[in-house]
């Protein structure tokens, strides 16, 4: 287990790497829309791709708290680059949570070291928020294999991935309990990468469609037992939503810092604009929101580390709060910079575009509220209007 001293050493290293190697590339990564393979290599060389993965599976054995702080630090400068760390985690978690010892040893060391890239494939064109009820991708057992048919969409890093954890229906009569999880390797017959999305933000993080046409998956690549897939998918999101919250928080903190520095330098009506109450009070609200979101996120991460029984609730609250703060703070940062904020010459324009996705993926803000309210008052029974 990584100690607190080692945790702060990791963060010092990350701050230096980000300042020297990531921040100078952020605008160009956004502009080109190309995945920054050099940044992925940099993170791999510095052991950042498997922070909370136990050392016996090739990870660093760090805490989730350290992991979210690392994602936050990177996202302050470049949201696309922060996803390299967050999505590697997302793709590894199904194996860590649902895999056998043999599966963990087969896949996790290569993923934690960054030799291989991971992805997580849950979403389909008709099943985004209603992940279980509307899933169409099928997996049928045939001898020692499963045959997968269907299409997944919005798969972050899906086209780069060596290994994709895919969720598919094995028994359509059983609802969520008829969904199973599989590890699909990029070379498996019948697995193909489809179209790449053109997106508003996180443009350096490719998002693609994945097609499974009679894709043959060895039965030994089933994670857990048949029917356990949805539970695994949800347990993964409990641990990965704090990572997206960290991305959102980092974007907000980066925008706040930029807007604050600008407001100290830009002069209007004879004094720095930050000393005009209209702007100064905006910055005060932005700072308060960022610090409140940070406290909530770190508490959620601590609960992940403790294996607390209410991680689902805390992960959802952290994602909700940080995503909304990111959108509000980046919008205000653009306002503080006025016309310059609206220009791609200044980073707050990119930050505002990048912030929006944090209110959408890994469960929309509406789904986070559903999860939170269910933890308070329970789930409505079937047929009850919500």
Q: Which residues are catalytic?
A: 362
CB of 381 to ligand CAA, least distance (A): 11
Q: Which residue is nearest to ligand CAA (CB)?
A: 363
Collapsed DSSP state (helix, strand, coil) of residue 276: coil
* Residue of the chain from 234, 308, 328, 372 that contacts ligand CAA (CB under 6 A): 234
Least distance in Å: CB of 14 to ligand CAA?
20
* Smallest gap from residue 93 Cβ to ligand CAA (A): 11
**Token duo for residue 261:** 């520095």
Binding status of residue 176 toward ligand CAA by CB under 6 A: yes
Among 230, 298, 314, 346, binds ligand CAA (CB under 6 A): 230
301/336 with CB nearer ligand CAA: 301
**3-state class of 335 per DSSP?**
helix
Residue among 340, 347, 351 at smallest CA distance from 266: 340
Cβ closer to ligand CAA: 176 or 224? 176
CB 368 within 8 A of CB 296: no
223, 159 contact by CB (below 8 A): no
Q: In Å, how far are 244, 278, 281, 297 from 326, measured between CA atoms?
A: 11, 20, 18, 13
CB 238 within 8 A of CB 311: yes
When asked if residue 371 is in the footprint of ligand CAA (CB under 6 A), the reply is: yes
How far is residue 350's CA from residue 330's CA, in Å, rounded to a whole number?
9
Which residue stretch of 95-103, 279-287, 345-353, 363-371 sits at the interface with ligand CAA (rule: CB under 6 A)? 363-371
Q: Which region, judged by CB under 6 A, interacts with ligand CAA, from 37-45, 178-186, 281-289, 362-370?
A: 362-370
Provide DSSP, 61-116.
---HHHHHHHHHHHHHH-HHHHHHHHHHHHHHHHHHHH--HHHHHHHHHHHHTTSS
| Diameter over CA atoms, the chain | 79
Shortest distance, CB of residue 379 to ligand CAA, whole angstroms? Answer: 6
Number of residues that bind ligand CAA (CB under 6 A): 26
**87 near ligand CAA, judged by CB under 6 A:** yes
Q: How far is the CB of 285 from ligand CAA (least distance, A)?
A: 29
Tell me if 312 contacts ligand CAA by CB under 6 A: yes
224 versus 338: smaller Cβ distance to ligand CAA: 224
Please, what sign has the CA dihedral across residues 150, 154, 156, 160?
positive
Instruction: By CB under 6 A, tell whether 362 contacts ligand CAA.
Output: yes
Alpha carbon distance 144, 134 (integer Å) = 27
Pick one of 15, 136, 231, 287: the residue that binds ligand CAA (CB under 6 A).
231
Question: Site for ligand CAA (CB under 6 A): which residue of 156, 170, 221, 330?
Answer: 156
132 belongs to the binding site for ligand CAA (CB under 6 A): yes
Q: Which stretch binds ligand CAA (CB under 6 A): 73-81, 226-234, 258-266, 273-281?
A: 226-234
Taking CB under 6 A as the rule, does residue 123 contact ligand CAA?
yes
Stretch that binds ligand CAA, among 14-22, 68-76, 96-104, 120-128 (CB under 6 A): 120-128
User: Who's near 73: CB < 8 A, 6+ residues apart?
Assistant: 11, 14, 15, 18, 250
What is the b/e burial string over 4-33, where b = at least 16 CB atoms within 10 angstroms of the residue's CB? Answer: eeebeebeeebeebbeebbbebbbebbeee
Selected from 26, 93, 96, 122, the binder of ligand CAA by CB under 6 A is: 122
Interface positions with ligand CAA (CB under 6 A): 87, 90, 120, 122-123, 129, 131-133, 154, 156, 176, 230-231, 234-235, 237-238, 312, 361-363, 367, 370-371, 379
């Amino acid at each position: 287990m990584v100690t607190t001293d080692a945790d702060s050493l990791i963060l010092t290293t990350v701050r230096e790497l980000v300042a020297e190697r990531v921040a100078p590339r952020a605008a160009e990564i956004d502009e080109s829309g190309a995945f920054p393979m050099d940044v992925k290599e940099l993170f791999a060389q510095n052991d950042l791709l498997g922070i909370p993965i136990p050392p016996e599976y090739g990870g660093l054995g760090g805490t989730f708290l350290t992991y979210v702080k690392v994602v936050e630090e990177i996202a302050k400068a470049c949201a696309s680059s922060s996803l390299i760390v967050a999505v590697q985690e997302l793709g590894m978690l199904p194996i860590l949570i649902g895999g056998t010892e043999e599966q963990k040893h087969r896949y996790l060391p290569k993923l934690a070291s960054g030799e291989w890239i991971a992805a997580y494939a849950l979403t389909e064109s008709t099943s985004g928020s209603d992940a279980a009820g509307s899933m169409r991708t099928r997996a049928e057992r045939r001898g020692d294999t499963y045959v997968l048919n269907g299409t997944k969409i919005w798969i972050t890093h899906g086209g780069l991935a060596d290994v994709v954890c895919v969720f598919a229906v094995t028994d359509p009569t059983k609802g969520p309990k008829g969904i199973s999880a599989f590890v699909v390797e990029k070379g498996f017959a019948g697995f193909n990468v489809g179209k790449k999305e053109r997106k508003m933000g996180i443009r350096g993080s490719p998002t693609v469609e994945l097609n499974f046409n009679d894709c043959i998956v060895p039965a030994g690549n089933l994670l857990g037992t048949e029917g356990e897939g949805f539970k695994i998918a949800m347990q993964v999101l409990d641990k990965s939503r704090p990572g997206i919250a960290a991305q959102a928080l980092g974007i907000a903190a980066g925008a706040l810092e930029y807007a604050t520095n600008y407001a100290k330098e830009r002069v209007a009506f004879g004094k720095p604009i930050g000393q005009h109450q209209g702007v100064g009070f905006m910055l005060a609200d932005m700072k308060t929101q960022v610090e409140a979101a940070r406290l909530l996120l770190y508490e959620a991460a601590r609960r992940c580390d403790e294996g607390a029984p209410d991680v689902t609730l805390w992960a959802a609250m952290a994602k909700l709060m940080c995503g909304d703060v990111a959108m509000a703070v980046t919008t205000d940062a653009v306002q503080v910079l006025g016309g310059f904020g609206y220009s791609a010459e200044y980073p707050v324009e990119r930050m505002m575009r990048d912030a929006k996705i944090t209110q959408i993926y890994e469960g929309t803000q509406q789904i986070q509220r559903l999860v939170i309210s269910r933890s308070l008052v329970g789930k409505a029974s079937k047929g009850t209007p919500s």
